[in-house]
Every structure is written in structure tokens, then in C-alpha cells.
């Protein structure tokens, strides 16, 4: 273990990424869904703008309409309409594009905070402190900054927070190849995390490439940094069932809600969200939350997009919670 570097506890991957275990913290909410078959959103992901100040090679929506944005008042109405069951606890502001370029990003954060939501922000960090004042950053629960920005542009904006105050800060990095420069950058990244008191560094492969090949190539670096970085396995697995949107819907910038943010990853998607994976339009949110569902969000066997699913574990947990007709279920 290198001097001064914080060791990552084994449970850190579960704490700082979506692995499924956190669903078990919301058994009361899931019990409502089990009994009523009504959607019970706990976490809402929203992509308010398609504008971006980078052109990342690993972007899964590179062919999107880059001028598209969700009108602010439509966004607020949508969030309110998703609260029918009073189960919504958190909102993640993400891309699509770069969320700090959304014209009303500060007003959005302030409003979400006033409603009592825990707020997360995923950003490339290029204009983070330029576009969001410190008083609004302090309202966030967490910020995840992509450090690919530093590699691509040579600069990044990282806010400094006093210990015990402000949001939890994390870094992420997407790798597409492993070269000598990658080794040098990982050393720089480790120092950057220490300097800025980041709680974690999440390393993931470029999901548009051969994941198995990338997992093999990263092994030497993983051996060096496995105690200080979080290496997340992103190998896809088609689930048998798809229920995730009933607890974690994803609102894309086109105004449609999708089952998750990974449906744009399969090769036939043309690096955009496939129209045949849409669940409902944001204008229909109130009706959707008040209507018992009779089936899954999508039928994975019918959609090529589901071949690239990164949420199979979550869907398996949700299926078994909803099933509730086990024989001798008391014999656990």
C-alpha cells in the first residue's frame, strides 16, 4: 500500500456504485409495489440537456441532437408527478450531455433541495465551478467527476470542501486502452484524489468496446491499484425480466422515460436511445404512477438493447421480490 493513500473498504463498490444491494434498504417501499403493483420510484435519473463541451470517444449517445434540452418548468412538473406514491427519495442529474451547461442548473438544484430530495451530480468537471456557485454545490449529496476531462483537456475544475461539510466527492475514469500513458495517468489520478480528499476513484471500461478484452488488459493495473481504486465489472448480461424503471426510471433529454441508461450501448442503437425501448412520455408521468403494471418494463428476450444490460442483478432482485409466491417461503 502506497504511503498516504486511503485503502478502499470491500463494501465501497456497493456504497458508491449501483450494484443492487441498496434495494434491500427499501423493503417497506418494495412491499408497497409488491402489494399494489404500482410503480414506486425511489431514485430518479434525469438528463436535462444534450449540450456538451467535450467529444468523448466512449460516449454512448454521441449521435444525439446536441441542441435538445428539457424546459425547466416541464422538468419540475415531471418530478412532482413522479411523487404520487411518496416514495421518491433521490434525483441524479446526469447526461445525455453535460448537466452543468443546463441554463437553469442552479435553480434545479435549489428546487430539488427545497423538496427534500438527496441530489447527485455526474459531470465532466470542465466548467463545474464556473457554472455552479458554491452555495448550490453545497446542496448536493454527492458529485462524481469524470477525470477523462483532465486527460483530454489538461484541466478540470474540482471544488474543495471542508471535512465533514459539502457533498461527497468521487472521481471516475473510463479506459479504452492500456498504454504507458495510462500507468502515468493512474499515478496522477491517485495523487489528485488524495489532494482533493475524494472518497473514491471508480474505474470502468469503455462499454462500446470488447469488455472481456479490456478486463484482461487492465489486470496488471488492477493488481497495483486494487486497494485504492474501485474497479467496476461492467460486463453485460441479459436479464430474464426488466423491472428497474419501476424504482429507478431514467428521463432522457427527448422527454421520454427509458428502462435504464444502458439501452443505448448495443451496436444497433447508433449511439442513441432506441425508440422501441421507450416506456412513457414525461407528460404522462402522473398517469403512469397511478396505473398498476401488469408486466415488465421491457421484455428482454424481445429487445437487442437488453443484451448490453448492466442491471441484471437489480432486475433479478426485483423479480423475486414481486414474485411472492414461493412454496414454503418461510423456510429461508
What φ, ψ does residue 295 adopt, rounded to 5°? Answer: -150, -170
89 half-sphere exposure, CB direction, 13 A CA radius? 12
The answer to whether 239 and 309 are in contact (CB under 8 A) is yes
Q: What is the pLDDT of residue 4?
A: 45
Q: What is the 3-state secondary structure (H, E, C) of the chain?
A: CCCCCCCCCCCHHHHHCCCCHHHHHHHHHHHHHHHHCCCCCCEEEECCECCCCCCCCCCCCCCCCCCCECCHHHHHHHHHHCCCCCCCCEEEECCCCCHHHCCCHHHHHHHHHHCCCEEEEEECCCCHHHHCCHHHHCCCCEEEEECHHHHHHCCCCCCCCCCCCCCEEEEEEEECCCCHHHHHHHHHHHHHHHHHCCCEEEEEECCCCCHHHHHHHCHHHHHHHCCCCEECCCCCCCCCCECHHHCCCEECCCCEEECCCCCCCCHHHCCCCCHHHCCEEHHHHHHHHCCCCCCCCECHHHCHHHHHCCCHHHHHHHHHHHHCCCCCCCCC
Q: What is the pLDDT of residue 19?
A: 83
Whole-model pTM: value is: 0.94
Q: What is the pLDDT of residue 301?
A: 82
Q: What is the pLDDT of residue 327?
A: 87
Architecture of the domain delimited by 12-321 = Alpha-Beta Barrel (3.20)
Q: Which residues contact 167 (CB under 8 A, 6 or more apart)?
A: 121, 137, 138, 140, 141, 142, 143, 161
Cell 428482454, residue located: 300
Name the residue among 285, 293, 259 with its Cα closest to residue 82: 285
R_g of the chain computed on alpha carbons: 20
**CA 320 distance to own-chain centroid:** 23
**CA–CA gap between residue 198 and residue 329 (Å, rounded):** 43
**CA–CA gap between residue 314 and residue 18 (Å, rounded):** 9
pLDDT digits over 287-303, tens only?
999 999 988 988 888 88
Q: Which residues of the chain have pLDDT under 70?
A: 1-11
- Peptide bond between residue 96 and the one before it cis (omega within 30 degrees of 0): yes
pLDDT digits over 123-161, tens only?
999 999 999 999 999 999 999 999 999 999 999 999 988
The answer to whether 277 and 70 are in contact (CB under 8 A) is no
Grid coordinates representing 96 are 445525455
The answer to whether 6 and 225 are in contact (CB under 8 A) is no
Amino acid at each position: 500500500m502506497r504511503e498516504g493513500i486511503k485503502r478502499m473498504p470491500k463494501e465501497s463498490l456497493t456504497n458508491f456504485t449501483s450494484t443492487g444491494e441498496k434495494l434491500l434498504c427499501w423493503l417497506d417501499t418494495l412491499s408497497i409495489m409488491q402489494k399494489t403493483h404500482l410503480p414506486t420510484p425511489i431514485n430518479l435519473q434525469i438528463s436535462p440537456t444534450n449540450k456538451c463541451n467535450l467529444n468523448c470517444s466512449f460516449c454512448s449517445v454521441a449521435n444525439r441532437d446536441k441542441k435538445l434540452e428539457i424546459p425547466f418548468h416541464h422538468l419540475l412538473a415531471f418530478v412532482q408527478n413522479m411523487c404520487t406514491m411518496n416514495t421518491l427519495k433521490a434525483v441524479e442529474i446526469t447526461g445525455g450531455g453535460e448537466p452543468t451547461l443546463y441554463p437553469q442548473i442552479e435553480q434545479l438544484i435549489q428546487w430539488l433541495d427545497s423538496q427534500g430530495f438527496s441530489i447527485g451530480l455526474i459531470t465532466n468537471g470542465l466548467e463545474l465551478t464556473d457554472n455552479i456557485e458554491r452555495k448550490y454545490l453545497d446542496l448536493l449529496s454527492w458529485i462524481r467527476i469524470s477525470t477523462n476531462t483532465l486527460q483530454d483537456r489538461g484541466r478540470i475544475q474540482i471544488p474543495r470542501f471542508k471535512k465533514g461539510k459539502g457533498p461527497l466527492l468521487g472521481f471516475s475514469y473510463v479506459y479504452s486502452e492500456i498504454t504507458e500513458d495510462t500507468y502515468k495517468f493512474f499515478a496522477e489520478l491517485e495523487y489528485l484524489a488524495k489532494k482533493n480528499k475524494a472518497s473514491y476513484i471508480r474505474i470502468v471500461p469503455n462499454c462500446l468496446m470488447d469488455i472481456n478484452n479490456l478486463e484482461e488488459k487492465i489486470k496488471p493495473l488492477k493488481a497495483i491499484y486494487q486497494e485504492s481504486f474501485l474497479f467496476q465489472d461492467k460486463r453485460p448480461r441479459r436479464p430474464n425480466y426488466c423491472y428497474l424503471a419501476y424504482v429507478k426510471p431514467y428521463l432522457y433529454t427527448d422527454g421520454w422515460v427509458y428502462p435504464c441508461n444502458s439501452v443505448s450501448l448495443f451496436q444497433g442503437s447508433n449511439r442513441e436511445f432506441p425508440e422501441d425501448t421507450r416506456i412513457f412520455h414525461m407528460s404522462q408521468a402522473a398517469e403512469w404512477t397511478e396505473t398498476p403494471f401488469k408486466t415488465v418494463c421491457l421484455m428482454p428476450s424481445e429487445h437487442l438493447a437488453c443484451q448490453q444490460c448492466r442491471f441484471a442483478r437489480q432486475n433479478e432482485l426485483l423479480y423475486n421480490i414481486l414474485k411472492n409466491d414461493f412454496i414454503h417461503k418461510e423456510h429461508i
